[in-house]
């Protein structure tokens, strides 16, 4: 009974992080099957993050607009971290909006750190996918070609067009999965889930 009461108090104390975790798990599952994170999920996450932050600030005795501002800054950080990759065709808009949703709920600092862990998880998963398919040389050459294009072309529109043409020959990583794993791992590491 004491364990159940302890679990209940942990969930009550950290419920917002658990809500974000459930959003992330759902996004990862959908992205894994459909290679897309749907707008209904990302916009629900962002808007509910604004609402939560506004209410949390008011409940703490702060002005409601301080909470909304905190949420908007977190959302902007989430957008800003992945928007450059989206602009050059390196990932989908749903992935960008998913990290913006994390920012709307968790704020700028937690979003930045979750993004860093997400990058590591994404790199590990990408390498694992390439190794499992035994296509190391092909993808290694594509990686250096993409890096060369980014360094020489510098026009996001042209880079996006090139990426769209190359998409059919690429091994696609549904990035909602690394965002979910990386963010949840960061929350767990920081003790935010317990």
C-alpha pair distances (Å), 113 with each of 147, 169, 182: 25, 32, 9
Segments in the chain forming alpha helices (H):
2-13, 15-34, 39-59, 64-87, 93-106, 108-133, 136-152, 156-166, 176-189
User: Could you list the mean pLDDT of each consecutive 10-residue stretch along the chain, which spans 194 residues?
Assistant: 65 87 98 96 98 94 95 98 86 95 98 98 91 81 82 83 78 92 97 90
C-alpha pair distances (Å), 69 with each of 4, 61, 82: 36, 15, 20
What was the pLDDT predicted at 84? 87
| Gap between the Cα atoms of 53 and 107, Å rounded | 9
What was the pLDDT predicted at 66? 95
What was the pLDDT predicted at 94? 96
What are the structural domain ranges in the chain? 2-135+171-189
Contact 81, 115 (CB under 8 A): yes
What was the pLDDT predicted at 73? 98
Instruction: Assign 84 to helix, strand or coil.
Output: helix
Range 57-77 burial, b when 16+ CB lie within 10 A, else e:
beeeeeeeeebbebbbbbbbb
């Amino acid at each position: 009974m004491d364990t159940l009461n302890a679990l209940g108090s942990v969930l009550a104390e950290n419920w917002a992080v658990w809500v974000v975790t459930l959003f992330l798990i759902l996004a990862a599952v959908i992205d894994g099957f459909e290679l897309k994170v749907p707008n209904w999920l990302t916009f629900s996450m962002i808007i509910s993050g604004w609402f939560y932050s506004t209410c949390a600030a008011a409940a703490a005795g702060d002005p409601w607009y301080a909470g909304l501002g905190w949420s908007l800054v977190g959302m902007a950080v989430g957008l800003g971290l992945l928007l450059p990759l989206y602009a050059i065709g390196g990932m989908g808009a749903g992935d960008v909006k998913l990290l913006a949703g994390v920012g709307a709920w968790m704020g700028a600092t937690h979003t930045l750190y979750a993004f860093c862990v997400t990058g590591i998880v994404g790199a590990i998963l990408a390498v694992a996918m390439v190794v499992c398919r035994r296509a190391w040389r092909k993808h290694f050459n594509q990686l250096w070609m993409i890096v060369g294009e980014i360094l020489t072309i510098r026009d996001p529109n042209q880079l996006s067009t090139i990426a769209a043409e190359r998409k059919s020959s690429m091994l696609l990583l549904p990035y909602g999965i690394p965002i979910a794993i990386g963010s949840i791992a960061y929350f767990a590491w920081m003790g935010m889930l317990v």
